[in-house]
Every structure is written in C-alpha cells, then in structure tokens.
C-alpha cells in the first residue's frame, strides 16, 4: 500500500517539477508545418529541457509575398515582435517568413527565421533553390508562392503541406526539415550566449 502511495507522490512531484521548469515557445503562425519544424528544432538543440509550443496568427507587416532578403527578414522579425506583444508571458518567440529573390529572369526561394527572447535574438536563412518559369510568371503577376504552386501542380493549400521544396525535390526534402535546420541555425546565439550577448 505504502509503496503505491510513494509512486503516486513521485509521479505528481515529477509532473509539478516539469510544469514549473517548462519553457514556453510562441510561434507566430498556426501553420502545422512551421510549428512542427520549430518544435523539432528546439528539441534537437535543447535535449535536456522541456517546452510547450503554441502558435498564434499575427501580421508580418510586409506584403503577402515578400521580395528580397531584407523584406523577408523584416517579415519574420515583425511576426516574432507581434507575437511577443500578444503573448508576453513566454520564453521564446519565433517568426518564419518565406520570400523570393529575383536573380535576373530567374527567381530563388528561401525563408528567414527570427527567434527572440528577453535578452537575445537569432536569425537564419534556409537554403535556396530556383523556381520553374511557370511559377515565376505567376509570382510576377502577383500570386503568392503557395497559390502559384497550387495552380501549377494542381494541389490544394500546399503551403501547409510539402510546399515548393517538397514538390520540386519529390519529397526528398520536406518543408518541415527545410525549416527545422534553419531553426537550429537561428538558435546558435542561445546555444552560445556568452559569444553573442555583448553584441545583441
């Protein structure tokens, strides 16, 4: 009888301890792909910590389809900043923004990730790849990349699925892993705060 009670108390204590030490990460998106990528990135970096993740919808403050690195990074920063304003009682805020870059008649795709806490900020950019001409034409006509993908490939809401990177690589690189690696890169300042705090 007593050993059973002891076990129950240990379970309750463990649950209380984890709740008290759990850190909260607010993701400035409700897109399940982005949320899963951030979750995996944090769990890979901070293997001995416990997190809760929550997604919220906030404005990027940039056009629906950002053009160029500066505009795309600004969108990611704005999302994290707005998420921080909406839900200030958290430990980390994450903004992800997908963008395109014109390169002559070609067009590259990438995404920017911005992570901030009360004391540090981290930025990273995914790898890039080039879009096929039909999609470039639609983006130049004013379509968002996800909409252009749906039109060209006959998909529906592909930006919440494999996205351009998954479609064009035949799912060798899915969108979750595409964002996850950049999330890890954006967390470098949080892994080595002693190297970054004096410059933040």
Instruction: Give domain status of residue 19, yes or no.
Output: yes
Instruction: Give domain status of residue 31, yes or no.
Output: yes
pLDDT at residue 11, as a whole number: 53
Under the banding of pLDDT at 50, 70 and 90, the label for residue 155 is confident
Domain count for the chain: 1
pLDDT tens by residue, 110-125: 999 999 999 999 999 9
Instruction: Give domain status of residue 159, yes or no.
Output: no
Please check the confidence at residue 20 and state whether its pLDDT lies above 60. Answer: no
Rounded to the nearest integer, the mean pLDDT of the chain is: 90
- Measure Cα distances from 23 to 50, 91, 110, 144, 149 in Å: 6, 6, 29, 34, 36
Any idea what the CATH number is for the domain that residue 52 is in? 3.90.950.10
Q: Enter the pTM of the model.
A: 0.86
Q: Which of 5-19, 104-118, 165-179 has the lowest mean pLDDT?
A: 5-19
pLDDT at residue 156, as a whole number: 79
Instruction: Give domain status of residue 85, yes or no.
Output: yes
CB-based burial label for 129 (10 Å; 0-12, 13-18, 19+): middle
pLDDT at residue 194, as a whole number: 93
Instruction: Give domain status of residue 160, yes or no.
Output: no
Say how far apart CA 6 and CA 170 lie, in whole Å: 53
pLDDT at residue 197, as a whole number: 85
pLDDT tens by residue, 54-80: 999 999 999 999 999 999 999 999 999
Instruction: Give domain status of residue 162, yes or no.
Output: no
Please check the confidence at residue 200 and state whether its pLDDT lies above 60. Answer: no
Instruction: Give domain status of residue 82, yes or no.
Output: yes
Could you list the residue range(s) of the whole structural domain that residue 58 is in?
Answer: 2-126+176-199
Please check the confidence at residue 192 and state whether its pLDDT lies above 60. Answer: yes
Instruction: Give domain status of residue 149, yes or no.
Output: no
Angle at which helices 133-140 and 145-153 cross, to 10°: 130
Say how far apart CA 89 and CA 103 lie, in whole Å: 42
All residues at 6 or more sequence positions from 63 whose CB lies less than 8 Å from its CB, including other chains: 71
Under the banding of pLDDT at 50, 70 and 90, the label for residue 17 is very low
């Amino acid at each position: 009888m007593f050993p059973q009670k002891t076990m129950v108390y240990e379970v309750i204590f463990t649950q209380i301890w984890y709740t008290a030490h759990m850190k909260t990460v607010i993701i400035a998106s409700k897109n399940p792909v982005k949320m899963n990528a951030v979750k995996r990135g944090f769990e890979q970096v901070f293997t001995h910590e416990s997190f809760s993740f929550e997604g919220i919808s906030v404005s990027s403050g940039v056009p629906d389809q950002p053009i160029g690195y500066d505009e795309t990074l600004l969108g990611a920063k704005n999302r994290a900043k707005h998420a921080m304003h909406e839900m200030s009682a958290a430990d980390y805020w994450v903004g992800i923004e997908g963008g395109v870059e014109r390169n002559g008649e070609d067009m590259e795709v990438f995404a920017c990730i911005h992570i901030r806490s009360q004391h540090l900020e981290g930025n990273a950019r995914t790898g890039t790849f080039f879009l096929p001409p039909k999609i470039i034409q639609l983006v130049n006509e004013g379509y968002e990349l996800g909409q252009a993908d749906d039109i060209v490939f006959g998909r529906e809401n592909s930006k919440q699925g494999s996205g351009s990177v998954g479609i064009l690589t035949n799912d060798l690189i899915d969108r979750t892993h595409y964002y996850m690696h950049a999330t890890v890169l954006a967390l470098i300042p949080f892994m080595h705060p002693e190297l970054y705090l004096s410059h933040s």
